[in-house]
Amino acid sequence: MGPMGRLKYMEKIIDLVNKHNEWRRSCINLIASENTMSPICEKLYTSDLMHRYAEGLPFQRYYKGLKYVDEIEDLTEKEFKKHFNINFVDIRPTSGTLANYAVFSSLAKPGETIMSLGIDGGSHISHEKGGAIGMLKYEIEHVVYNPENLEIDVQKTGEKILEKKPKFIILGGSVLLFPQPLKEIKEYCSEVQTKMVYDAAHVFGLITCGKFQNPFEEGADIITSSTHKTFPGPQGGIILANLDDEKLKTKIQNRVFPGFVSNHHLHRVPCLYAALREMQEFGEEYTSQILKNSKALALKLNELGFDVIGKSKGYTESHQVLLNVRKQGGGKIVADKLEDQNIILNKNIIPHDNTSDPDNPNGIRIGVQEMTRFGMKEKDMEQVAHFIFNIIIENKDVKNKVIEFRNNFKNIKFVF
């Protein structure tokens, strides 16, 4: 069989990838956990680094051929330490969940008690029994959360911390509309030597630019995060900390490798550096626009009759907007309808969600960070809200209008 004949074996997969690329660039992407890298990051990503292995730490490798890799990784770690004014960074976790595994397993032993937000409070699955926490066999207690005002009850949670003495508490989370009372909770944690971990995966970009809250200044001992949501880097994870305990630093590093990660996908590393430099240069403008856009979207959706969660608190102070769509058939049905019209978002459990059908929860979660990166502003978010209204309330077919509108936003902004 000649080269042309052999190429036919590749046609199907190439066709599918091309179809995916074309389709998603014609969609309005509102997934709260996604973003798009800049052209320079994509170029760095597709380098020879993607073929190489580098077990261990810079200048302490098990493999050869890494003299430039060591410098790249060392430079990137130093830039993150400098930016956040911290003494510990590990960029090797290949996801935020693996970053959580490494940190959680360093702070507590199986059978010991930890505390998380719970689903009502916005936990990520890795914070609960179904994920890392359950697999690490911890006893789980939850903060006392009021789903009516979307706030942690600090006093009751503090009393619970003093009573249960958890090894650590994990805050931050997956559904995160507003800053959390870290400083107040830290006072209770300090009394019983409970470590405070903040999962910044969703708001890491906002935190990087001082637009959400400063977990380290407010009491967090360790931040875990992914690097591809409001922080527009490569998919992967990161651990940041200010730690005087050298044994704990070493334990976390050893949990990453050889514990949970062997090769840490070296092509991610220069992209992390480039993304951080982009945020240092353009992040003030970018994250400010994210916050303007999420607020504008929430206000318009409320005006159009949707049940936007958090109204009494101003809807949102992050990139996320959360809707209760029970009256419109539930999260799955709404998300399916929108996908058919080239608007992409996800169903989501919402606070006080008593649905008996976990596959069709009452909520949807919206994130504006990617469309902001493609140049959308407040008036554009209002148009997006109108599209959602047309599709869900009026049952109209506006797919062609959505595609035409999306075609106005093809180039990534806030980049070198």
One pLDDT digit (tens) per residue for the chain, 416 residues: 566 667 777 899 999 999 999 999 999 999 999 999 999 999 999 999 999 999 999 999 989 999 999 999 999 999 999 999 999 999 999 999 999 999 999 999 999 999 999 988 888 988 888 888 889 999 999 999 998 899 999 999 999 999 999 999 999 999 999 999 999 999 999 999 999 999 999 999 999 999 999 999 999 999 999 999 999 999 999 999 999 999 999 999 999 999 999 999 999 999 999 999 999 999 999 999 999 999 999 999 999 999 999 999 999 999 999 999 999 999 999 999 999 999 999 999 988 776 657 788 999 999 999 999 999 999 999 999 999 999 999 999 999 999 999 999 999 999 99
pLDDT at 336: 98
What is the predicted pLDDT for the residue at 132? 87
Residue among 98, 399, 387, 88 at smallest CA distance from 260: 98
Cβ–Cβ under 8 Å, residues 197 and 221: yes
Contacts of 183 (CB under 8 A, 6+ apart): 218, 219
What domains can be seen in the chain, in order of their start residue? 42-275 (3.40.640.10)
Q: Which amino acid is at 254?
A: N
Beta bridge partners of 323: 308, 364
Q: How far is CA 171 from the centre of its chain?
A: 13
**pLDDT of the residue at 4:** 63
- What residue type is 219 in one-letter code? G
Q: What is the pLDDT of residue 259?
A: 94
Quickly count: other Cβ atoms within 10 Å of residue 104's Cβ: 25
Cβ(325)–Cβ(307) below 8 Å: yes
Hey, is 402 helix, strand or coil? helix
CA separation for the pair 225, 243 (Å, rounded)? 17
Burial class of residue 249, CB neighbours in 10 A (0-12, 13-18, 19+)? middle
Classify the phi-psi angles of 188: left when phi > 0, otherwise alpha if psi is within -120 to 50, otherwise beta: alpha
Q: Identify the burial level of 352 via C-beta atoms within 10 angstroms of its C-beta, where 0-12 means exposed, 13-18 middle and 19 or more buried.
A: middle
**For residue 232, what are the contacts with CB-CB under 8 A and spacing of at least 6?**
35, 36, 37, 38, 41, 205, 275, 278, 279, 369, 373
pLDDT for the residue 356: 58
- Residue of 308, 298, 331, 351 whose CA lies nearest to 148: 351
| CA neighbor of 296 nearest in space, from 284, 308, 286 | 308
Confidence at residue 64, expressed as pLDDT on a 0 to 100 scale: 95
Please name the residues in contact with 52: beta carbons below 8 A apart, sequence gap of 6 or more.
63, 65, 66, 69, 263, 266
Amino acid sitting at position 80 = F
DSSP alpha helices (H): ranges in 304-366?
331-340
User: Is the bond preceding residue 234 a cis peptide, omega within 30 degrees?
Assistant: no
